[in-house]
């Protein structure tokens, strides 16, 4: 069983890495990009008994900084 965790900065939190990507895209001629938010995807290979609640506990304790990041869990 696998779980995929998507972690993104919360709305309103500055994203300097996303801004750098947006600026670089503009410099390459991609003028239509108004904004970029950079995030991360964490894929976990789990034992069969693992639950979505287990993965959410992992996110709360380690995988996401819940003060500035939000996350979503997808069991695949």
74, 3 Cβ separation under 8 angstroms:
yes
pLDDT at 69: 98
Output the six-digit token pair for 26: 């503009």
Domain hosting 63: range is 2-75
pLDDT at site 8: 98
Contact 5, 41 (CB under 8 A): yes
Reading the block at residue 47, the tokens are: 């034992």
d(CA 4, CA 38): 17
Predicted pLDDT at 56: 98
pLDDT digits (tens, 9 = 90+) for 27-58: 999 999 999 999 999 999 999 999 999 999 99
The per-residue pLDDT for 24 is 97
CATH code for the domain in which residue 23 is found: 3.30.1280.10
Q: How many domains does the chain have?
A: 1
pLDDT, mean of residues 5-15: 97
> How is residue 43 written in tokens?
């894929």
| pLDDT (0 to 100) of residue 1 | 95
């Amino acid at each position: 069983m696998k779980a995929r965790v998507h972690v993104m900065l919360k709305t309103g939190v500055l994203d300097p890495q996303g801004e750098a990507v947006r600026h670089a895209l503009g410099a390459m001629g991609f003028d239509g990009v108004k904004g970029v938010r950079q995030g991360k995807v964490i894929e976990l290979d789990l034992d069969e008994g693992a639950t979505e609640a287990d993965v959410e506990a992992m996110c709360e304790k380690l995988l996401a900084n819940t003060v500035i990041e939000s996350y979503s869990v997808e069991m695949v």
